Structure 1
Amino acid sequence: MKTYLSGAFAVALATASFAWSGAAMAETKTITFLFTDDDQAYVERMEALSKEFETAHPDIKVNFVSSGYDAVAKQLPVQLAVGEGPDIAKITDWQLAPYYLDMRPYMKDPDGFAKLHGDSLNTLRFPGVNDPQSINGYIASQTFNLPFVNKTLFEQAGEPLPKPTATLKDIVEASARVAKATGAQIPFTMDRSGHRFSGAAFSYGSNYVKDGKFFFPDDAAKRYVTDLYGWTKDGSFPKEMWGAAGGTQYKNMGDEFVNGNVVTYLAGNWMVNPFQKKIGDAFDWTAISAPCGDAGCYAMPGGTAIVGFKRTKSPEAVAAFIEFLGSEKVQREIAENYVILTGADIKDPQYKLESKNAKEAMAVFLGSRNSVPQAARDLERLKGSSAIYQLIVQRMSQLIVGELSLDETFKAMSADVDKVNEALAAK
């Protein structure tokens, strides 16, 4: 069974729809799998894999629920906190660690699973929260944020692509020249996301943590925010890209790039497969190296995981499904067909890169794996990091649309961070 849900009520509705799973079907164990991804083909394949699992396990029913990222990010923590929610979900929030189910006791071959996924499983093991040997799920993807560029527009403008040593200022200014020469609507943009914002912040020299507490914005972050704001004022980074949505809402800008409206788009390697499918031969494109700054040329790391939750009434069924999805066979297929850097150690993956554009872009992403600052990796695992990302989106948006001045934005961000620190200290 597949359910499509969107909006803030998505997870709540999904839970209500399937809360009867354990009781209503005495002979069949029903589990709910909540999934989200920007690649619709990947979503459809995960639905098909759920059905394949059902065929092989007639005593287990998988309710596959597809929802938007924003709904999952906002509603899933709330659901889990009150003992509700799905049995399994794809997540990006590592702070859900207290809710994970340790599936090691329920798996047929836990040691084989652990060997295949190796050290990546440590990402899901928080000291003092999860057992050091626990199997809570698996890392579905490893991601890196880099700029995509429309090569055809650069060529039409007679503008060389930014070099690997280019600063963000170099990249944005080159993109603005290309847009002016070609008539492209959007010189530079990025997803409406605090995570997407943060890579260049580290390149500028920012560090979100000081003396064990969140500290933002520091002087480097203020320089970065000031530059971004200046680019919204001169049209290089059109304010409509972030100002059109409200609050902390996530917004993907990929379709604008696909339509040829964007010169440079800061996203990540999860977009390589959708781009090669959607763009086809409409124009040439690739990825370029991470923007450089005073501190270095840093790619922001990220990732997704598929995990089981201990609120489930069917831990054996959840473990069997995770063991199936996380198997070498399935992980190889997903890695190769959807161009995903998995946590599983897949030997010599043959990525289905259908064009030279996709091959070039993937090579850049693979080459960026060593350009990640440790501070960024640490930030991803810190409790409260999601709140920092959200306040960045909210305050940056208010700045961009003129609700706040620069000084007011910095003060509001700092006050927000103080509240996050206070909330963390109180727990």
Structure 2
Amino acid sequence: MDLNRRNFLTGSLGAATMMGLAACSSVHSNSADSTTSSSSAAVGAAGSSTTAAPSTTAASGSGVTPSSSAPSSAVAVKGDISFSFWGGSTGETAGFNHAKKMFESANPGTTINLKIVPYDGFFAGIDRGIQAGNAPDIFRVDYTTIGKYSGKGVLLDVSPYFDAAEIDAFLPALWEGIKYDGVPYGVPHQTDTTCIVYSKAAFETAGITSVPTTLASAWSWEEFSAVATKLRASLPDKKFPFAYDWTQAGAFRWLSWLYQAGGTLLTPDLKKVALPSAAATEAMDYTKSFFTNKWTPDSATIKTSQYSDNFFLSQIVPMSFIGDFLVPELADPKSGYKGEWGATYMPQHKAAASDLGGNAIVARKDTKNPELAAAFLKFLVSEDIMKYFCEQAIELPTLKSLASADLKYAYRPDVVKICAEQASTISDTIVKESTVGSFASINTVLQDQLELAFHGKSSADTISAIASGVTSALGS
């Protein structure tokens, strides 16, 4: 499948400002999974297209480069390092296990100790480990959180380990996303974004006969409201039209509605908040109506314990906003969605927009073996290893060579195609605002204030409180 559709590689705004940079955490309903599995367990969908393990040719040696066209001298490395990541899908776990196996095979005398922990509380654990001096050598971090660590000077500067050709192998905006004050910390590992999944049977029952099949024909807010209204009329009281993926750390995904309304969170210089605004009021009023119109379950707010995919899997809702990394969970023949389901694009209003999705891998500045840590970081973003990971995890690659390649996704390549197209709606403004160093604090403000808004706080008071909180975050 060609991921270059809708200018995925360079974007309508140019390569340096394109949606390639995605920056949200892979929050899963199964994030508490702490079982390490073999790579073969990643492929289980009936009739799915699978890939063989990548060859060791392009991935041999500790000095593996992000692209075979950008060679680098191998450096002999030995020793043990720890790598911590939140328990994601089976495909993600298999991808990391495969990378560990291949790296250790190519570098005798090395051991990568994988530690899988739940997403909830993941960064609190990292923080405690940093303070105590026993944090993992390497850990996963979403782009909206990386500034929290790079800004405090606790991450390894990787600039000595990448030459210009190796840096150029990445989608430019993604490489910019791991930089702080011009210095790169870590590697951009993968990207993802939000799309809509829906029950075909429920749509048929509700009389919804037309679903957008191109990005250009995505529903307007008015059309989306009409779809939700039809679903509401066809469903029993205990079921609801849809759930949105703004749970917990995903609160920042609300900003997609602000951008769709033509607004921004920050001023162009990223130094001040751009609220209040007419666009913010429109976005707040519209999203609050999800609850007053009974389109969304009352419990599907920011601080709920359930994620949007849970509501869909349990068939409380026939439509849900999800990240493409959840496709394996929905497509699983044993525990996935029961019934035929399809996917379509995010609604659009004055503009089309989606959220930044994806994660970087970083190393601690005080790791006892920086050469080994850097070598493993480079290995994770080597072409064959990244290709295998993305195919199994159903996520989008960060290398130019793979962004335009035909990846054989293990599950529902038709849905990945939609997500790749949707990613082209992530503008330069979205990229810049979502990667400011204080964005983790800003996201906490959004969690607190949106929760109150969806429980009755007025739009005006909510926007004022968000503006005040963001101003404080920017000044911290």
Q: TM-score scaled by structure 1?
A: 0.79
1:127 Cα deviation from its structure 2 partner = 3.2
Q: Name the structure 2 match of 1:194.
A: 251
1:1-400 alignment, distance < 5 Å: 29-36=79-86, 38-76=88-126, 79-80=129-130, 85-92=135-142, 93-95=145-147, 96-97=149-150, 98-103=153-158, 105=160, 113-114=166-167, 116-117=169-170, 119=172, 120-128=174-182, 130=183, 136-163=185-212, 164-183=217-236, 185-191=239-245, 192=247, 193-210=250-267, 212-242=271-301, 245=304, 252-277=307-332, 282-294=338-350, 296-344=351-399, 345-346=401-402, 348-354=405-411, 358-400=412-454
Q: Is the 8 A contact 1:36 1:43 kept in 2?
A: no
Q: Is the 8 A contact 1:5 1:68 kept in 2?
A: yes
Report the CA distance shift for 1:138/1:244 in structure 2 as closer, same or farther (over 3 A): closer
Separation (CA, whole Å) in 2 of partners of 1:153 and 1:406: 32
Q: Summarize deviations over 1:282-328 as a string: whole Å, max 9, x none.
A: 3222322221112x121222321112221211112212222322222
Task: Give the counterpart letter for 1:146 in structure 2.
Answer: C
1:39 Cα deviation from its structure 2 partner = 1.6
Separation (CA, whole Å) in 2 of partners of 1:73 and 1:208: 25
1:188 Cα deviation from its structure 2 partner = 1.7
1:86 Cα deviation from its structure 2 partner = 1.8
Is 2:472 the counterpart of 1:419? yes
Report the CA distance shift for 1:256/1:72 in structure 2 as closer, same or farther (over 3 A): same
Report the CA distance shift for 1:83/1:269 in structure 2 as closer, same or farther (over 3 A): same
Bigger fraction of residues in helix: 1
Report the CA distance shift for 1:392/1:364 in structure 2 as closer, same or farther (over 3 A): same
Q: Is the 8 A contact 1:106 1:315 kept in 2?
A: no
1:371 Cα deviation from its structure 2 partner = 1.9
Give 3-state SS (helix, strand or coil) of 1:304's partner: strand
Q: Which protein, 1 or 2, shows the higher relative CO under an 8 Å CA cutoff with sep ≥ 6?
A: 2
Separation (CA, whole Å) in 2 of partners of 1:6 and 1:188: 24
Separation (CA, whole Å) in 1 of partners of 2:475 and 2:164: 41
Q: Summarize deviations over 1:193-238 as a string: whole Å, max 9, x none.
A: 2222111210012200126312334321122112222221231122
Task: Give the counterpart letter for 2:234 in structure 1.
Answer: A
Task: Give the counterpart letter for 1:202 in structure 2.
Answer: Y
Separation (CA, whole Å) in 2 of partners of 1:375 and 1:382: 11
Give 3-state SS (helix, strand or coil) of 2:208's partner: coil
> Which deviates further from its counterpart, 405-414 or 325-334?
405-414
Give 3-state SS (helix, strand or coil) of 2:135's partner: coil
Separation (CA, whole Å) in 2 of partners of 1:382 and 1:104: 20
Q: Summarize deviations over 1:257-282 as a string: whole Å, max 9, x none.
A: 12333222122222223322257673
Separation (CA, whole Å) in 2 of partners of 1:140 and 1:172: 36
What is the number of residues matched between the two proteins? Answer: 385
Give 3-state SS (helix, strand or coil) of 1:62's partner: strand
Report the CA distance shift for 1:324/1:171 in structure 2 as closer, same or farther (over 3 A): same
Give 3-state SS (helix, strand or coil) of 2:91's partner: helix
Give 3-state SS (helix, strand or coil) of 2:347's partner: coil
Report the CA distance shift for 1:244/1:341 in structure 2 as closer, same or farther (over 3 A): closer
Q: Is the 8 A contact 2:90 2:393 kept in 1?
A: no
Report the CA distance shift for 1:217/1:70 in structure 2 as closer, same or farther (over 3 A): farther
Unaligned residue ranges in structure 2 (runs of 5+):
1-29, 34-76
Give 3-state SS (helix, strand or coil) of 1:33's partner: strand
User: Runs of 4 or more off by more than 6 Å in structure 1?
Assistant: 4-7
Give 3-state SS (helix, strand or coil) of 1:70's partner: coil
> Which deviates further from its counterpart, 63-72 or 311-320?
63-72
Task: Give the counterpart letter for 1:198 in structure 2.
Answer: L
Q: Is the 8 A contact 1:243 1:401 kept in 2?
A: no
Give 3-state SS (helix, strand or coil) of 1:213's partner: coil
Q: Name the structure 1 match of 2:25.
A: none
1:254 Cα deviation from its structure 2 partner = 1.2
Report the CA distance shift for 1:251/1:305 in structure 2 as closer, same or farther (over 3 A): farther
Q: TM-score scaled by structure 2?
A: 0.72
